[in-house]
Amino acid sequence: MKLVLATKNKGKIVEIVEIIADLPQIEVLSIADFPELPPIEETGKNFKENAILKAKTVARFTGHWTLADDSGLTVAYLNGAPGIYSARYAGENATDEENNAKLLAVLKDVPMEKRQAAFVCVMALCSPGGECYTCEGRCEGLIALAPKGSHGFGYDPLFYVPAYGKTMAELGPEVKNKISHRAAALKQLKPLLQKVLKQNRTGI
């Protein structure tokens, strides 16, 4: 079975592939394998709407089951921002470093005890015919006072995980893929993937 990941983000692709590696019947593709796919405008008002929009669009275009995630960072002190705008918090085409720098600037002088945050991920698994399943995963933490660590991507260098006493970027992929918001969502989605695999094998 071919499964298309509706993203070009190499970091996300690596994480997802590692987490579902125990489902060997799946051949994973990404939208990079479909250069003729038109751009998808994320017009949803929340993570779930954007995830479904991306998965449905790509599944319909490619003719394959598609897995899309919409994820981001929510900061309580900022009333949930940057939220669905996490990837472009510092502007369109902003780099991870620029987004991190803006977040640190906005939270300047905010004490550690008021820097609660969560990584949120909603995953949508959709068929070419429009059948969709969604799952949400969360990872709670704090925004560090300065970036630390060289693993991961996005806000990982600033996302401090109290249980480990380190930022997500310091923990490395082995730990991250067990505790991350994406891992939590995929854990819920795995039974659905297995169901789809079974249907594809039996023709049900």
Within 10 angstroms of residue 159's Cβ, the number of other Cβ atoms is 29
- 10/24 Cα distance (integer angstroms): 20
The length of the chain in residues reads: 204
pLDDT digits (tens, 9 = 90+) for 132-190: 999 999 999 999 999 999 998 999 999 999 999 999 999 988 898 889 998 899 889 88
Phi-psi region for residue 203, left (φ > 0), alpha (ψ -120 to 50) or beta? Answer: left
- pLDDT for 14 equals 86
Residue 27 β-bridge partners: 2
Alpha helices per DSSP H over the chain: 10-19, 47-62, 96-106, 168-171, 173-179, 181-202
Residue 120 β-bridge partners: 72, 138
pTM of the model: 0.87
Where the chain has pLDDT below 50, the residues are: 202-204
Does the structural domain 2-202 have CATH classification 3.90.950.10? yes
Contacts of 71 (CB under 8 A, 6+ apart): 47, 86, 119, 120, 121, 122, 181, 182
Q: Which two tokens stand for residue 49?
A: 């709407």
- pLDDT for 201 equals 60
Contact 86, 156 (CB under 8 A): no
- 80/60 Cα distance (integer angstroms): 32
Phi, psi for 129 (deg, rounded to 5):
-85, 0
Q: What is the residue whose two structure tokens read 């695999």?
A: 197
- 98/111 Cα distance (integer angstroms): 22
- pLDDT for 192 equals 85
Q: What is the set of active-site residues?
A: 70
Residue 82 β-bridge partners: 74
